Chains A and B, each alone.
Chain A
């Protein structure tokens, strides 16, 4: 009940957020937070966030998949979301570009601000939103078309290119940014599906950045890749975060530890802990986080 109330009067929710932040700072100096506590521990808010989520709830039918999650995504940072399967991290990720709209009985409440605009309002057109918030999926999913067409599709439907040379340039720069240009520049007419898994995933990243987004969401982008391809993608992510904000969902804690600036731990729909990655992995503040990252879960 209070969810609707809060989202309508964001002033109230801001104040309560402040309280929570003070609480979490207080808890940092004391002992580890016990398992039963479900309030978010750590600094969920940052200065000048790219995306600010406030009290987001997601329901699949009557089942609540995300419970009152507030989390900011800063500019030029990589935020990793970890947690056991079914904890809602992917669901939360898909709220950020409204991909949950494609699921029939899914309902999202709360406020998600991107550049001061609440993107969770029904009146928001998802097409420009998804151009601003790109997405890379778990399984590399290039279109069964040529490499060129894969990249050109987005700019073309959004009308980003004036003419053919413009489009060629967008394709080239996107592939260069994704570190794929040197490998495919002579075979742009080859089908995207003929590439290796890691190359396909980089093609998908190139496709996402071809529409010049502000935020890139990655849903377990390396889970289908071998360690070398994973390392290439991770390097790429670190390079890309100079220009974009990146949110990555991953099951590999090592990956989260390696690439991210901040780590958020989800547990059964609750955002349990969020903080600087080195702190989360050296000295987690919540017992659940500790249990999960040291492998004592369940």
Chain B
């Protein structure tokens, strides 16, 4: 109160003197924050760039055009066993004949085999499917695009360098020359790789697709969602709204929080021990995968749901109780609808986590090489991240780009799920 008369002035001077320092500190702090943001963004960009640059070529596949004559003698004469004849016909022979016709001057057996290697071993199924779909094609000449082998594909996409000495590359000079000749005739072309999205896994990269893994993921996640959402929400509601708060409820809460931090592989071991060894569920099936992921996701959903319930203002509960609603009516009519967006967000984030999970699924055998596309939760299946893991392990050059492409698909799904979470929150969120 009783300061010297110049007190105000002195204060002002001191404030002004410190002002520059304070502003500088503020600026520094902001630039540090900005810098860290930029570093984070840079890493993200590097990640995306590396994945996309490696993976985008997998969405295209080299095809070779062949003149195929569905010679009637191949299928035998018109009989009542036409279908069997069509099924058992030697389509490989047709392709070989067409290739020989293309390059008539090759007679060496070894060279011929090299020539045949340019075309994917899956081409025969393409021909078969073609003729099965339309038997009228028999005895006709057709120009048909068949997939090239992965090595030819790699050369066309530039992943196999011509400058490398012949011994160090997977294609011989002769094969390159034939491909060049085919290309000069316009018989080599890059087309959209539908097989990547429609096929299951395969040893041949050009035939390998993610359909099986995708279906496996969807089935596994369905099981997870159906089990973990109701259980998680019910648990959260009980703990938050009905349970008496005492040391037991505290213990349960601590354990749930700890469970969320348990390494996922432990859940895999648990699943292996309980579901497969004790309960005798089959291995590698989405049901068991879903169960394991449910165990893993439950804590996340419970914690998120409890947070959502806790964020519902107590005034809403009081209002409902105040007009004479019972505890259950209060929860179901007023609290749950308000907490639902938060619960859904938590669930979707948990699902996204489950979608990206690999380790626990390795333990229960979902790492097997499965060609067939699963159609039910009791059929052996694998999931996207495990598929990525498998492909990343394969030696063929062509699997590198497929790995990246599968990662892109996985990331796409993750982004889509998160976007869904944001959208649901926006749509359902109500102000109070």
Contact = CB atoms under 8 A, between A and B. Distances in A.
Interface stretch (A21-29, A52-60, A135-143): A135-143
A207 interface: yes
A157 B329 CA distance: 8
A97 B323 CA distance: 10
Contacts of B321: 99, 102, 130
Contacts of B69: none
Contacts, number: 71
Contact of B315 (A99, A102, A141, A211): A141
B322 A130 contact: yes
Contact of B322 (A139, A158, A208): A208
Nearest to B312: A144
Contacts of A136: 322
Contacts of A130: 321-324
- Chain A at the B interface: mostly helix, strand, loop or mixed? helix
B82 interface: no
Contacts of B269: none
A158 B324 contact: yes
Contacts of A131: 323-324
B316 to A, nearest CB: 6
A292 interface: no
A131 B321 CA distance: 10
Nearest to B244: A104
B323 A153 contact: yes
B325 A141 contact: no
B318 interface: yes
A144 B323 contact: no
Contacts of B334: 143
Nearest to B430: A144
Given A104-B245, A193-B432, A141 B318 contact: yes
Contacts of A191: 430
Interface in A157-171: 157-158
Interface string A156-187: 01100000000000000000000000000000
Contacts of B318: 99, 102, 135, 137, 141
Given A144-B338, A144-B431, A144-B432, A154 B323 contact: yes
A127 interface: yes
A215 interface: no
A158 B325 CA distance: 8
Size category of the binding interface on chain B:
20 to 34
Given A137-B318, A141-B315, A141-B319, A154 B245 contact: no
Nearest to A192: B432
B134 to A, nearest CB: 60
Given A137-B315, A144-B430, A144-B431, A97 B322 contact: yes
B210 to A, nearest CB: 43
A143 B333 CA distance: 10
Interface in A116-152: 126-131, 134-137, 139, 141-144
B313 interface: yes
Nearest to A127: B324
Contacts of A158: 324
Contacts of B244: 104
Contacts of B323: 130-131, 134, 153-154, 157, 207-208, 210-211
B313 A141 contact: yes
Interface string B301-344: 00000000000010111111111111001000110001000000
A271 interface: no
A204 interface: yes
Size category of the binding interface on chain A:
20 to 34
A143 B317 CA distance: 9
Interface in B233-265: 244-245
A3 to B, nearest CB: 25
Contacts of B322: 97, 99, 130, 134-137, 208
Interface string A39-78: 0000000000000000000000000000000000000000
Contacts of A193: 431-432
A104 B430 CA distance: 29
Contacts of A144: 316, 338, 430-432
In the complex, which of the residues A141, A193, A211 has the most CB atoms of chain B within 10 Å of its own CB atom? A141
Interface in A65-99: 97, 99
Contacts of A204: 319
A157 B324 contact: yes
B419 to A, nearest CB: 25
A240 B244 CA distance: 39
B313 A153 contact: no
Nearest to B315: A141
Contact of B320 (A139, A143, A211): A143
B302 to A, nearest CB: 21
Interface in B45-78: none
A243 B171 CA distance: 98
B431 A143 contact: no
Nearest to A132: B324
A133 to B, nearest CB: 9
B315 A139 contact: yes
Contacts of B313: 141
A125 to B, nearest CB: 9
B431 to A, nearest CB: 6
Contacts of B431: 144, 193
B325 A153 contact: yes
Given A97-B322, A211-B323, A143 B316 contact: yes
Contacts of A134: 322-323
8 contacts: A99-B321, A99-B322, A102-B317, A127-B324, A127-B325, A135-B318, A136-B322, A193-B432
Interface of B: 244-245, 313, 315-326, 329, 333-334, 338, 430-432
Interface of A: 97, 99, 102, 104, 126-131, 134-137, 139, 141-144, 153-154, 157-158, 191, 193, 204, 207-208, 210-211
Q: Top 5 nearest A-B pairs by Cβ distance?
A: A141-B315, A154-B323, A130-B324, A135-B322, A131-B324
Given A144-B316, A157-B324, A211-B323, 13 more contacts: A99-B318, A102-B321, A126-B324, A127-B325, A135-B318, A136-B322, A137-B319, A137-B322, A141-B313, A142-B319, A153-B320, A157-B326, A193-B431
